Amino acid sequence: MEKFRNPEVPLEERIDALLAELTVDEKLGFLNYRNEGVPRLGIPPYVWWNEALHGLARSGTATVFPQAIAMAATFSPELVGKMGEVIALEGRARHADSVKHGDFGTYKGLTYWSPNVNIFRDPRWGRGQETYGECPYLTGRMGAAFVRGVQGSDPDHLKAATAPKHFAAHSGPEKNRLKFNSRVTEKDLRETYLPAFHACIKAGAQSVMSAYNALNGTPCSVNAGLLNGILRKEWGFIGAVVTDAGAGEALVREHKRFSDYPSAVAEELKNGVDVITDWEEGVREAWKRGLIPESELDRAIRNQLRLKFRLGFFDPPAEAPSCDVIECDEHRALALEAARRSVILLKNANGILPLDFSKLKSVAVIGPNADSREVLMGNYFGTPTRTVTLLEGILAEAPGTCRVIYARGCEPVSPKTEGCAEEQDRIAEAVGAAERAELSILCLGLNPQIEGEAGDAFNSEFAGDKTDLELPGLQKLLLGKIAALGKPVILISVSGSALALPEELADAVIQCFYPGAEGGTALGNVLSGKVNPSGHLPVTFYRSADDLPPFEDYAMQGRTYRFFDGDVLHPFGFGLSYTSFEYCGLAVPAELPVGKGVTAEFLVRNTGTRAGETVVQLYVSAIRPPTRTPLKQLAAVKRIALQPGESQKVELAVEPDSFLLTFEDGSQCLQPGSWRIEIGSDSRTTAAAAEVRFR
């Protein structure tokens, strides 16, 4: 047995042994994300590119969980962790089965280019649906839970590997992402754009993906300050840095940083990249020109191998899970639980919800998203065996005595459905359906063709980004005509981002971020009252895009709940329930030494008549700080379930880092001063507050 294949040998010695076996040409064959095999050593080819944003993606059948932004709406890191465990198990099964059948292609490996922990700073960004929202703390908690769930807790062996992306300060515009320069102050970089990445690294992430854009003039894939300075030297990262697809080629064509590709790829390696995701051949040419020192080549391969060894690629064959685990009942049940917890009740005038379908004779279900399967998926998804649309979920709740009348009403964007018809060709049908029904459920919003990644979304004027926050096409007109009938209207908004919803036209409003394969069942359960809604907004719902700074402006001032103090449609953290909760008795230490965390104690009581879950949110804000700070910052969350009249004592631990002050030069420190501690149901509703002083 070769030394590098002996699992009893220490890891670094195994890496040394394999490096010593490889020729320079074989090492060069490892640099591209499509690693060449080494037949003489029995090493097969390997493709680094795989996706697992909300379930194993793009490789066939898989359990499809709610999109990342919907998972964020659960405010449940433990649920994201369980999803990660499912991804790892299904991914191991898919990988083993693919290798068994000689398939070493894209999306079949164990290195997942997820999670996306960029901050959703502006609701116009099309890829914001892939993120965990606008809050660095929540994003960090969710991202870290994903990392731990996918990779497992064994210090020597990984179930699979994660790659938090896109490092760093990346959130649009999609149209110019290959050449865009994100101008970010050191304060905003440290206070907003980096913390979630740091949380993932502390959780053990074994890979990181660099961003396409430049950061303050230097493209991220050649940004030594980011990759070698912050990531490796400051945070102690020892894993593999991968570039986003085509980033090296973009250095030549879009950034116009280099005259040719070999020069660009050599500079990426020099500045900390280990795996190059490009289609152009140029690595060996860079070597021939003397642009790649062998020390840099060995460093990149060593960082790759460290991850591969921990994945077990060079160990004796081990028993792998059967593909029967993929989309098994247990996994689909977890996806349904996540979908149920992600549904957000935004309005419920006069308690119109939940509906007692047994007392209704007819319900109209209207809208382009009612019977759409694509709005369940979002982007980066697997292939579910069964999907339940919103219409199908409602039909499952309605007994035979309640007729469900379906009408499409309009297209998401286009003014007509049939090519040879006149504009508004389905409006009359929808109005007629609403006239015959006792109430109407309108399923409106966006879809992945309107918002998404450049190249994937087709209907947006901005290559996947939005130009405004309004309902597109004829949707608002349709809603207005139905509302004008004077009958009850329930608006179901399906999207991957915030919209300026015309809530005055509806009696009840529910937000469903792309809810996954079981989304229709989850919505039907909420409408009927089988499930009490408990989702909360991971982003601010603004009244208009006019309230925001220009999309291209990366300064955080005037953005998100942390820095926007104007009127909003709904604040970050908002979400209603069919019951009510009371918070009281908040107690925190009056004084603590600098550097200590805070434990907050209080009582939560269900004061309503239904059992329900609530997400208790704790926020901190500095009192008379010596530098500009966020208006407030989420610092702890806890989801609790209570029966009617039941009370529960809650303890929330606030880590010392929540009290970090970030100065204009990016320096951070803990220092004496007073902080306000608030608890409540969202970022603008304070149920109780107290003050702690650090001495």
Among 503, 538, 573, the domain-final residue is: 538
- The boundaries of the domain holding residue 467 are 326-538
* pLDDT at residue 623, as a whole number: 98
Which of 119, 112, 230, 251 is closest to 172 using CA atoms? 119
Beta 661-662 vs 668-669: how paired, if at all?
antiparallel
- The answer, yes or no, to whether residue 563 has pLDDT greater than 90, is yes
Across 425-451, average pLDDT: 97
> For 155-194, b where at least 16 C-beta lie within 10 A, e where not — what string?
eeebbbbbbbbbbbbbbbbbbbbbbbbbebbebbbbbbbb
Distances in Å between the Cα of 224 and the Cα atoms of 106, 216, 229, 485, 655 are 29, 13, 6, 62, 30
Encoding tokens for residue 564? 């926007």
Asked whether the beta carbons of 372 and 520 are under 8 A apart, the reply is no
171 - beta bridge partners?
none
Residue 516 and residue 418 in one domain: yes
Q: Is residue 175 part of a domain?
A: no
* Sign, Cα dihedral of 210, 216, 217, 223: negative
Q: What is the pLDDT of residue 454?
A: 87
* CATH number of 675's domain: 2.60.40.10
Element at 333 (helix H, strand E) = helix 329-342
Q: Do 628 and 532 belong to one domain?
A: no
Peptide linkage before 630 cis (omega within 30 of 0): no
Residue 215's pLDDT band, with cuts at 50, 70 and 90, is very high
Asked whether residue 97 is domain-assigned, the answer is no
- 647 and 498 in one domain? no
Catalytic one among 122, 188, 244, 507?
244
- Please tell me the distance from the alpha carbon of residue 48 to that of residue 622, in angstroms, as a whole number: 44
What is the b/e burial string over 244-254, where b = at least 16 CB atoms within 10 angstroms of the residue's CB? bbbbbbbbbeb
Do 525 and 604 reside in the same domain of the chain? no
pLDDT of residue 559: 98
b/e burial code for range 471-495 (CB count within 10 A of at least 16 → b): bbbbbbebbebbbeeeebbbbbbbb
Give the pairing type, strands 673-680 and 688-694.
antiparallel
End-to-end Cα, the chain, rounded Å: 61
Decide if 472 is inside a domain. yes
Q: Are 161 and 151 in contact (CB under 8 A)?
A: yes
Same domain, 366 and 510: yes
Q: What is the mean pLDDT of residues 583-606?
A: 97
The residue-averaged pLDDT of 332-337 equals 98
Average pLDDT of the residues in 245-268: 97
As a whole number of angstroms, the distance between CA 43 and CA 36 comes to 9
Q: Is the pLDDT of residue 443 over 80?
A: yes
Phi, psi of 112 (to 5 degrees): -100, 130
| Claim to verify: residue 502 and residue 598 sit in the same structural domain | no
Residue 8, domain member (yes or no): no
Report the number of distinct structural domains present in the chain: 2
Kindly report the backbone phi and psi dihedral angles of residue 341, in degrees, each rounded to the nearest multiple of 5, phi listed first. -75, -15
465 and 372 together in one domain: yes
Residues 523 and 424 reside in one and the same domain:
yes
Residues 534 and 600 in one domain: no
Q: What are the distances in angstroms from CA 401 to CA 392, 521, 530?
A: 16, 20, 19
Query: Binning pLDDT at 50, 70 and 90, where does residue 504 land?
Result: very high
Give the residue among 591, 562, 588 at the shortest CA–CA distance from 672: 591
Question: Phi, psi (5° rounding) for residue 115?
Answer: -90, 165
φ and ψ of 198, to 5 deg: -60, -40
Backbone angles phi, psi at 474, to 5 degrees: -90, 10
481 within some domain = yes
Quick one: angle between helices 390-397 and 519-528, nearest 10? 40
CATH number at residue 443: 3.40.50.1700
The pLDDT > 70 percentage for the chain reads: 99
Q: Which tokens in the block code for residue 295?
A: 């020390």
Which of 480, 512, 538 is the C-terminal boundary of a domain? 538
Residue with tokens 């190059």: 276
Same domain, 509 and 431: yes
Q: What residues have CB less than 8 Å from 349, skipping those under 6 apart?
A: 507, 508
**Averaged pLDDT, 123-138:** 98
Ordered DSSP codes for 159-223: SSEE--B-BSS----GGGTTT-EE---HHHIIIIISHHHHHHHHTT--EEEBPSSEETTEEGGG-
396-411 per-position pLDDT tens digit? 999 999 999 999 999 9
- Answer whether residue 629 shows pLDDT above 80: yes
Distance of CA 179 to the CA centre of its chain: 24
Helix 427-436 × helix 475-483 angle, to 10°: 30
Q: Are residues 515 and 607 in the same domain?
A: no
DSSP 486-543: -S-EEEEEEESS-----GGG-SEEEEEE---TTHHHHHHHHHHTSS------SS-B-S
In a domain, 272, yes or no: no
**pLDDT score at 456:** 81
Model's pTM, two decimal places? Answer: 0.98
> Does 588 reside within a domain?
yes
Sign (positive or negative) of CA dihedral 136, 140, 143, 146: negative
Q: What is the predicted pLDDT for the residue at 459?
A: 67
132 vs 496: CA distance, rounded Å: 11
Residue 398 covered by a domain: yes
Mean pLDDT of 244-268: 97
Residue finishing a domain among 479, 514, 538: 538
Query: Rounded mean pLDDT of 562-588?
Result: 97
520 and 617 in a single domain? The answer is no
Mean pLDDT (whole number) for 67-96? 98
Cα radius of gyration rounded to whole Å, the chain:
26
Bridge partners of residue 407, in order along the sequence: 366
Q: Tens of pLDDT along 90-116?
A: 999 999 999 999 999 999 999 999 999
User: Catalytic residue at 274?
Assistant: no
What mean pLDDT comes out for the span 608-618? Answer: 97
**Cα gap 366→431, rounded to integer Å:** 9
Please, what is the average pLDDT of the chain? 97
- The pair of structure tokens assigned to 253 is 């064509």
